[in-house]
Amino acid sequence: MARDLTIAVCQTGPIQKSAQRAETVDRLVALLERAAAAGAEIAVFPELALTTFFPRWRIDDQAEIEAFFEPAMPGPQTQRLYDAAARLKIGFALGYAELARVDGGRFNTMDLVGQDGTLVGRYRKIHVPGSSEPEPGTTVHLERRYFEPGNLGFPVFVYRGVRVGMAICNDRRWPETYRMLCLNGAEIVLIGYNTPLQLDEAPALAHLRMFHNHLPMQAGAYQNTVWVAAAAKAGVEDGQALIGGSCIIAPTGEIAAQAMSLDDEVIVHRADLDLIAVCRKVNFDFAKYRRPDQYRLITDQV
């Protein structure tokens, strides 16, 4: 019997610092409704989908920082999105700033939520980029000021009989992300990202920004025979242009669907899960050809 899962990528336009959380959740609910109306069974939202990308600023006021974080999910302001999932019978993956209940740790997090509106699984961003203080001559990117590296590994969760993994923004540029998820059994990788259109430190590479956005995701999909669905935040957010380019990528490495705007947009594609086995048989029979005994240098710190 053929296996498939219809995936929606819910790209958002900019979320300004002045936006109220309730207003943003309204937008996400509207996108989820559009995804469900198009027949999607699961949707993915961007990284930090509830707020502006606040690591672009150095913030010292603790109350201001705390306002960007979610101490519980769902919370009073986000419950409507979870209720919508249950009403529409569609799951979703949502990126947000997590204030951990147990130890107060702060993480760049993505939750996988089921069709009943309850938590299926959680991922915390492992490859946290940037710095803790502004660095002269570079685009201000202070994720390391606000977030700890993820501590949950690369978990894979079962959703409607499909094995789903997650990754966040800079994670998508690292081949280890896809390989670990693949080795853990992932069939689909859901990604959320916020990526600047321009980098102050590399103006000569500006024309390659979208190419470099898609390249690692296409390579990761192809080399690990998985589907990849990636949701961007796009447009000009608080004065910074974000790249957009949300997409769904097949295990062949082909882009099966791509957003065309820099605003709220939904793209949908039916992912043929049987294609994974076909691609794996052709090129990537891991059990037969993979040589982990020869790769040990990869795990050594350099």
Q: How does pLDDT run across 240-288, given as a tens digit for each residue?
A: 999 999 999 999 999 999 999 999 999 999 999 999 999 999 888 888 8
The single residue listed with the structure tokens 């989820």 is 32
The residue from 10, 41, 70, 169 that is catalytic is 169
Report pLDDT for 136.
85
Strands annotated E in the chain? 4-11, 42-44, 91-99, 106-113, 119-124, 156-159, 162-168, 188-194, 227-237, 240-243, 247-249, 255-258, 265-272
Q: Which residue has the higher pLDDT, 216 or 205?
A: 216
Q: Is the peptide bond preceding residue 46 cis, with omega within 30 degrees of 0?
A: no
- Dihedral angle at the C-alpha atoms of 270, 160, 166, 225, nearest 10 degrees? -50
Look at residue 138 and tell me whether its pLDDT is greater than 90. no
- Mean pLDDT across 89-101: 98
Cα–Cα distance between 286 and 219 in angstroms, integer?
A: 16
Active site residue 47: yes
Q: How far apart are CA 247 and CA 258, in angstroms?
A: 4
* Active-site position among 10, 70, 98, 125: 125
The answer to which of 87-96, 182-191, 197-206 has the lowest mean pLDDT is: 197-206
Sorted by where each starts, the structural domains of the chain and their CATH numbers stand as 4-299 (3.60.110.10)
Contacts of 164 (CB under 8 A, 6+ apart): 42, 93, 112, 121, 156, 157, 158, 186, 187, 188, 189, 190
Spatial separation of the C-alpha atoms in residues 71 and 106, rounded to whole Å: 10
Q: Determine whether 125 is an active site residue.
A: yes
Sign of CA dihedral 278, 112, 154, 38: positive
Active-site annotation holds for 182: no
Indicate which residue of 10, 41, 47, 182 is catalytic.
47
Question: What pTM, to 2 d.p., does this model score?
Answer: 0.97
The answer to whether residue 84 scores a pLDDT higher than 80 is yes
